[in-house]
Amino acid sequence: MSKVHRPSVARDVAKLAGVSQSAVSRAFTPGASISAKTREKVLKAAKQLTYRPNIVARSLITRRSRIIGVSMTRLDQFNPHLLEVLNVRLRAHGYGTMIFVIDPTHDADLVLDDALQRQVDGFILASTRPSAAFVKECNSVGIPVILLNRYSDERTIHSVTGDDIGGSRAIARFLMEGGHKSYAFIAGQSDSSTSKRREAGYTEELGRHGVKDVMKVTGDYTWEGACIAARELLSKPDRPDAIFCASDYMALAALEVARHEFSLSIPEDLSIVGFGDVVAAAWPSYSLTTYSNPVDRLVDEIVRILIDIFSKGGQKGGKHEQAIVSGQLVVRESARIPAPARETGTGA
* Cβ neighbours for 119, distance < 8 A, ≥ 6 positions apart: 59, 65, 67
**Closest CB to a second copy among residues 137, 232:** 137
Contact 156, 139 (CB under 8 A): yes
Residue among 85, 104, 144 nearest 323 (CA): 144
Are 160 and 150 in contact by the 8 Å Cβ rule? The answer is: no
Nearest approach, Cβ of 116 to a second copy (angstroms)? Answer: 5
Which secondary structure element, helix H or strand E, spans residue 122, and what is its range? strand 122-126
Rg of the Cα atoms in the chain:
25
Q: How far is the CB of 81 from a second copy (least distance, A)?
A: 5
Q: Which is nearer to a second copy, 3 or 37 (CB)?
A: 3
CA separation for the pair 101, 112 (Å, rounded)? 10
Q: Shortest distance, CB of residue 316 to a second copy, whole angstroms?
A: 6
Task: Give the residue with the Cβ less far from a second copy, 24 or 211.
Answer: 24
User: Min. distance of Cβ 170 from a second copy in angstroms?
Assistant: 26
CB of 101 to a second copy, least distance (A): 5
> How many residues does this entry show for the chain?
348
Q: Provide, rounded to whole angstroms, the least separation between the CB of residue 340 and a second copy.
A: 27
Nearer to a second copy, 256 or 269 (CB): 256
Where do contacts with a second copy occur on this chain (CB under 8 A)?
A: 1-5, 7, 50, 52-57, 59-60, 63-65, 67, 74-76, 78, 80-81, 83-84, 87-88, 91, 96-101, 103, 111, 113-114, 116-119, 121, 137, 140-143, 252, 256, 259-260, 279-280, 283-286, 313-314, 316
Instruction: Count Cβ atoms within 10 A of the Cβ of residue 157 and give its class: 0-12 exposed, 13-18 middle, 19 or more buried.
Output: buried
The nearer residue to a second copy, 1 or 339, going by C-beta atoms, is 1
Compute CA distances 133 → 138, 140, 192, 311, 336, whole Å: 9, 10, 20, 26, 47
Which CB atom, from 60 or from 341, has the smaller least distance to a second copy? 60
